[in-house]
């Protein structure tokens, strides 16, 4: 069969979709990169972490139904877990699979009778134990590989619906993830990105996150190991020691979702640190690990956020050793504590105003950081060619563009001199070996 996978949401969703693609290809199916009339089944791997993410998923579903009315439709992921009834009647051939069924999508595909109409929801309790993921890679791999090592979360922040949609924290079998990383590295992946909902909570067979990094560091073909977003209070001290070690493949980069600069709002969010603790941690990390890239997430408009609270988030961007901040508007999610704070919601126009201020500050801070990099030589892992050349990333997460069309740089690591600051990225030139 010819199957198209459409992925919304986080890096973890991307990792799960990649596994599904490899599983389908190993079973002899043809995976289409885009929707077209030849597609038999469209799979939407959905997201519901915010209202906007949910709306985008529903828009994708409507577009598929409108343009390909006879295609069989499978919806999985967090929207399928959160509100399956809301999308059940949008198509005459639709299968909705909750997150417990995501790793069994291929089994459900093989059980479908495409000669008939169907309308079905399959949801089962989310698992609580460690898990394994099959690896069926049979062809060269020329991309950064998102390695899923962990699932679920036990933190229950007051605004977050993820524990309800993905379940409690659980970790991938240690030997299984090392085997997966080995296979992809031997097939060409040079950078492995450790991915999960709360990767700092990894624990399996008496192994923690530092043990995962140690094991991957010993795989010869791996040249870089990168952490995806991680909670600052979960990072083992040994991980920072690994990051500071120039002989370790763990790159000097941390994305820490602090969420607010106000202690009052952090308490309402049920975060597990004070702003002073966060600042002290970032300053110590910046001092310990020279050249590290540091980023954060900030939520704007949390219920009851005053102008004073907002000013604290402004101060966070300005005064913390951060290179950028991803800014998100607060999104009401059913069955969360924050959703019960009904009399404290902030006007949408005010949220938009505050968000623009923080994004402008983040852009300015990032531009200043890039200006400090002018003239430096950095190792860049290049991605696929685009209109103006080859884009890539340094170890500390600077996006670099090289105007080169004569040589295929994709999936290659080259020394690059950073020669021009475009605020969002830098122009570079290859330095001869």
CA–CA dist 302, 396 (Å, integer): 30
Domain end position, chosen among 122, 148, 174: 122
- Nearest residue to 52 (alpha-carbon basis) of 97, 93, 9: 9
Instruction: Kindly state whether residues 231 and 278 are assigned to the same domain.
Output: no
199-203, 338-342, 395-399: least confident range: 338-342
**pLDDT confidence tier of residue 297, bands split at 50, 70 and 90:** very high
**pLDDT confidence tier of residue 401, bands split at 50, 70 and 90:** very high
By percentage, how much of the chain surpasses pLDDT 70? 100
Instruction: Kindly state whether residues 302 and 382 are assigned to the same domain.
Output: no
Q: What is the CATH number of the domain that holds 350?
A: 3.30.750.200
Q: How many residues are listed for the chain in this entry?
A: 433
Helix or strand run (H / E) with residue 122: strand 118-122
Residue 35: Cβ within 10 Å count: 16
pLDDT in tens, 224-277: 999 999 999 999 999 999 999 999 999 999 999 999 999 999 999 999 999 999
Instruction: Kindly state whether residues 65 and 172 are assigned to the same domain.
Output: no
Instruction: Kindly state whether residues 396 and 367 are assigned to the same domain.
Output: no
Report pLDDT for 184: 98
Q: What is the CATH number of the domain that holds 420?
A: 2.40.50
Instruction: Kindly state whether residues 261 and 239 are assigned to the same domain.
Output: no
Q: What is the CATH number of the domain that holds 18?
A: 3.40.50.12160
The helix-helix angle for 275-288 and 237-244 (nearest 10°) equals 30
Instruction: Kindly state whether residues 147 and 246 are assigned to the same domain.
Output: yes
Report pLDDT for 197: 98
State the chain's mean pLDDT as an integer: 96
Q: What is the CATH number of the domain that holds 207?
A: 3.30.750.210
- Report the DSSP beta bridge partners of residue 195: 148
By percentage, how much of the chain surpasses pLDDT 90? 96
CA–CA dist 196, 185 (Å, integer): 19
Domain end position, chosen among 251, 280, 295: 251
Instruction: Kindly state whether residues 28 and 75 are assigned to the same domain.
Output: yes
Instruction: Kindly state whether residues 134 and 246 are assigned to the same domain.
Output: yes
Report how many domains make up the chain: 4
Q: For residue 154, is pLDDT > 80? A: yes
Q: For residue 433, is pLDDT > 80? A: no
Q: Which two tokens stand for residue 26?
A: 């190993």
Report pLDDT for 190: 98
Report pLDDT for 204: 97
pLDDT in tens, 184-216: 999 999 999 999 999 999 999 999 999 999 999
Instruction: Kindly state whether residues 187 and 273 are assigned to the same domain.
Output: no
Q: What 3-state class would DSSP assign to 293? A: strand
Instruction: Kindly state whether residues 143 and 61 are assigned to the same domain.
Output: no
Instruction: Kindly state whether residues 160 and 80 are assigned to the same domain.
Output: no
Report pLDDT for 404: 87
Report pLDDT for 405: 84
CA–CA dist 187, 17 (Å, integer): 18
Domain end position, chosen among 251, 278, 294: 251
Helices (H), 89-231: 105-111, 162-166, 174-186, 209-217
Which domain range does residue 312 map to?
A: 254-372
Helices (H), 132-252: 162-166, 174-186, 209-217, 237-244
Instruction: Kindly state whether residues 391 and 314 are assigned to the same domain.
Output: no
């Amino acid at each position: 069969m010819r199957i198209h996978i459409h992925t919304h949401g986080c890096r973890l969703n991307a990792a799960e979709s990649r596994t599904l693609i490899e599983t389908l290809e190993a079973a002899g199916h043809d995976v289409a990169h885009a929707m077209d009339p030849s597609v038999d089944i469209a799979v939407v791997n959905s997201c519901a972490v915010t209202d906007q993410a949910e709306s985008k998923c529903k828009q994708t579903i409507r577009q598929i139904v409108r343009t390909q009315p006879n295609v069989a439709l499978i919806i999985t992921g967090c929207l399928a877990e959160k509100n399956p009834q809301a999308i059940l009647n949008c198509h005459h051939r639709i299968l909705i699979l909750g997150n417990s069924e995501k790793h069994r999508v291929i089994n459900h595909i093989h059980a479908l009778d495409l000669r008939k109409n169907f309308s079905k929801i399959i949801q089962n309790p989310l698992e609580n134990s460690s898990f394994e993921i099959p690896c069926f890679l049979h062809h060269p791999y020329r991309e950064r590989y998102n390695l899923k090592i962990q699932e679920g979360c036990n933190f229950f922040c007051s605004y977050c619906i993820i524990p309800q949609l993905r379940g409690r924290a659980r970790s991938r079998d240690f030997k299984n993830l090392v085997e997966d990383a080995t296979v992809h590295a031997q097939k060409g992946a040079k950078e492995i990105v450790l991915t999960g909902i709360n990767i700092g909570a990894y624990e399996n067979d008496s192994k923690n996150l530092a043990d995962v990094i140690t094991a991957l560091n010993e795989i010869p073909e791996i040249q870089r190991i990168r952490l995806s977003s991680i909670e600052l209070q979960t990072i083992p001290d040994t991980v920072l020691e690994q990051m500071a070690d120039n002989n370790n493949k763990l790159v000097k980069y941390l994305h820490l979702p602090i969420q607010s600069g106000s202690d009052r709002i952090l308490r309402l969010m049920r975060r597990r640190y004070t702003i002073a603790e966060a600042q002290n941690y970032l300053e110590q990390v910046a001092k310990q690990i020279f050249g590290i890239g540091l980023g954060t997430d900030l939520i704007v408009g949390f219920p009851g956020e005053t102008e004073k609270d907002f000013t604290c988030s402004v101060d966070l961007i300005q005064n913390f050793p951060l290179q950028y901040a991803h800014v998100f508007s607060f999104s009401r999610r059913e069955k969360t504590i924050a959703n019960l704070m009904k009399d404290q919601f902030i006007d949408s126009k005010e949220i938009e105003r505050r968000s623009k201020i923080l994004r402008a500050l983040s852009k300015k801070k990032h531009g200043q950081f890039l200006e400090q990099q002018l003239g430096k030589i950095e190792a860049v892992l290049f991605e696929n060619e685009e209109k103006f050349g080859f884009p890539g990333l340094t170890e500390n997460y600077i996006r670099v563009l090289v105007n080169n069309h004569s040589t295929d740089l994709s999936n290659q690591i080259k020394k690059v001199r950073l020669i021009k600051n475009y605020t969002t990225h830098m122009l570079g030139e290859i330095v001869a070996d």
